[in-house]
Homo-oligomer: A and B are copies of this chain.
Amino acid sequence: MPDIIQPRVLKGFRDFLPRDEIARQNIESILARTIRSFGFVPIDTPVLEYAEILLGKGGGETDKQVYRFKDHGDRDVAMRYDLTVSFARYMAAHENEIPLPFRRFHLGKVWRGENTQRGRYREFKQCDFDIVGVDALNADIEIILLIKSCFEHLGAGEITIEISQRRIFNRFLERLECGGQAPEVLRTVDKLGKIGEEGVRECLEEFLPAQKACEIIDYTKMEGNYGETLRKIEEAAGGPDASTERMAEIGKQLDDLGIVCVRLNPSITRGLDYYTDIVYETLLDDLPGIGSVCSGGRYNNLASLYTKTELPGVGASIGIDRLAAALEEIGKLDSAAAAGPQIAILMLDDGLNVHYQRIAGRLREYGLDVEIMLEKKRLSAQFKTAERKGIPLAIICGEDEKARGTVNLRDLRTRLSYENLTLEASAEKALKLLGGGE
């Protein structure tokens, strides 16, 4: 007999107990349903890819975080660290099979070997949705409507979608004569939420004169409303052009649609450098401190590393695990849906197993989730097991009830019993009790 191996998991990785996994799957299925209702279709890609594919675009910081190794065939391979790079490769590989514009979504795990401080994990699930093959502002708006619809269906309470425009920011930086430092500036401004205005000012002053740092910080501030903010940044950028007109039209259509949760916030930049136009972040109004729960933007050329075909696109990404934690924190995780079986059939006599299986089969036809206690034990022990598992209802049926063709139904929450019901009546009563309990 060998020694016991310690059943530990790697740092930054987690097991999901049923309650948490059900809650997460519930979120995933609401998202998938909502996203599909907008005409998006799911795809999947391999978790492992050639390292050259995944790292071709990723810069220094990312490389260090990627799980990368040699496989049995001595190939240089890596586990995906986001869903975007694989999607770019996918579009290049299948460009002749996919009619454009293409609305795809992808729900899957990604891995990053990053520092596990501050509740960050090395394995997490993302849900990405994108519309590629079209540069229309209608698509930019649709992403906003879809984000809004997702959080409505999740019952996440009020949200604020903050948008901004990279092109206007870049034009402003060129006018300030620091266009060459645009990526650094964008990355620095992106830290506003974390290090505050003074922190950003200090960082900017490390590579820019104080006056320019000051103007950049002024640029990033919101005015009274969308229109006023747009006018300010338009002026800072040197007047109207196609990108300011596009933002004006987006604002107008959102008004016409009665969407009031969108703010033009010039400080939103998204640190990543592949966005070229509009960018999005999403805040839960009940928990703005955790930062954006759904972020994205428009890029002018998704798959340029793998194909010469130009593929403009726009999309956003939701981190499922962070979202689940946030919803739990604000008490919006649907605990009724995050439940196990609804009915336990108690085992009064091993000889009745066939009868219990028949009852279970009938109850399942009513859409009920039913488990049978598999071993005869004292009733009190069986009640206790059912309660520990959070099962709200129990069916009790001995030889007498079997002979009469009835069962007894007990609500373990209220301790009320309903006796001598036909199977049909017990199913209907159960549905009523479960519906009323929510």
Interface residues of A (CB under 8 A from B): 2, 4-11, 13-18, 21-22, 24-25, 32, 36-50, 52-53, 56, 64, 67, 69-73, 75, 77, 89-90, 92-94, 97-99, 101, 103-104, 109, 111, 113, 123, 131, 134, 136, 138-139, 141-142, 145, 149, 253, 256-257, 303, 305-308, 340-341, 344, 347, 350, 353-354, 357-358, 360-361, 364, 367-372, 374-375, 385, 388-389
Query: Are B369 and A36 touching (Cβ within 8 A)?
Result: yes
Bound Cα distance A305, B3 (Å): 8
Bound Cα distance A46, B252 (Å): 46
Query: Are A38 and B370 touching (Cβ within 8 A)?
Result: yes
Count identical subunits in the complex: 2
Query: Are B93 and A9 touching (Cβ within 8 A)?
Result: yes
Query: Are B77 and A72 touching (Cβ within 8 A)?
Result: no
Q: Sort A-B residue pairs by CB-CB distance and give the 7 closest, nearest first.
A: A39-B371, A69-B69, A18-B41, A13-B46, A39-B341, A7-B92, A16-B44
A139: which B residues are within 8 A, CB to CB?
374
| In the complex, residue of chain B having the shortest beta-carbon distance to the beta carbon of A36 | B369
- The distance from the CB of A61 to the nearest CB of chain B, in whole angstroms, is 13
A94: which B residues are within 8 A, CB to CB?
15, 17
Which of B123, B256, B353 touches A47 (beta carbons < 8 Å)? B123
A13: which B residues are within 8 A, CB to CB?
46, 48-49
Query: Are B374 and A138 touching (Cβ within 8 A)?
Result: yes
Query: Are A45 and B308 touching (Cβ within 8 A)?
Result: no
Query: Are B306 and A10 touching (Cβ within 8 A)?
Result: no
A98: which B residues are within 8 A, CB to CB?
17
- The distance from the CB of A11 to the nearest CB of chain B, in whole angstroms, is 8
A24: which B residues are within 8 A, CB to CB?
44
Which of B42, B92, B145, B347 touches A357 (beta carbons < 8 Å)? B145
Which of B103, B104, B306 touches A6 (beta carbons < 8 Å)? B306
Bound Cα distance A15, B306 (Å): 16
Bound Cα distance A280, B113 (Å): 40
Which of B52, B138, B388 touches A372 (beta carbons < 8 Å)? B138
Which of B9, B99, B308, B372 touches A46 (beta carbons < 8 Å)? B9
Query: Are B307 and A4 touching (Cβ within 8 A)?
Result: yes
Bound Cα distance A330, B245 (Å): 55
Query: Are A42 and B69 touching (Cβ within 8 A)?
Result: no
A75: which B residues are within 8 A, CB to CB?
10
Which of B38, B70, B97 touches A371 (beta carbons < 8 Å)? B38
Query: Are A93 and B7 touching (Cβ within 8 A)?
Result: yes
Bound Cα distance A369, B42 (Å): 13
Bound Cα distance A317, B10 (Å): 26
- The distance from the CB of A333 to the nearest CB of chain B, in whole angstroms, is 16
| In the complex, residue of chain B having the shortest beta-carbon distance to the beta carbon of A122 | B48
Query: Are B138 and A353 touching (Cβ within 8 A)?
Result: yes
Which of B72, B368, B388 touches A99 (beta carbons < 8 Å)? B388
A41: which B residues are within 8 A, CB to CB?
18, 21-22, 340-341
Q: A39-B340, A138-B372, A141-B357 are in contact. List 6 more A-B contacts (CB 8 A).
A: A5-B305, A16-B45, A47-B109, A99-B385, A99-B388, A145-B361
- The distance from the CB of A365 to the nearest CB of chain B, in whole angstroms, is 9
Which of B4, B37, B92, B101 touches A308 (beta carbons < 8 Å)? B4
A71: which B residues are within 8 A, CB to CB?
10, 67, 113
Q: Quick one: given A38-B370, A43-B15, A341-B39, are A48 and B123 in contact (CB under 8 Å)? A: yes
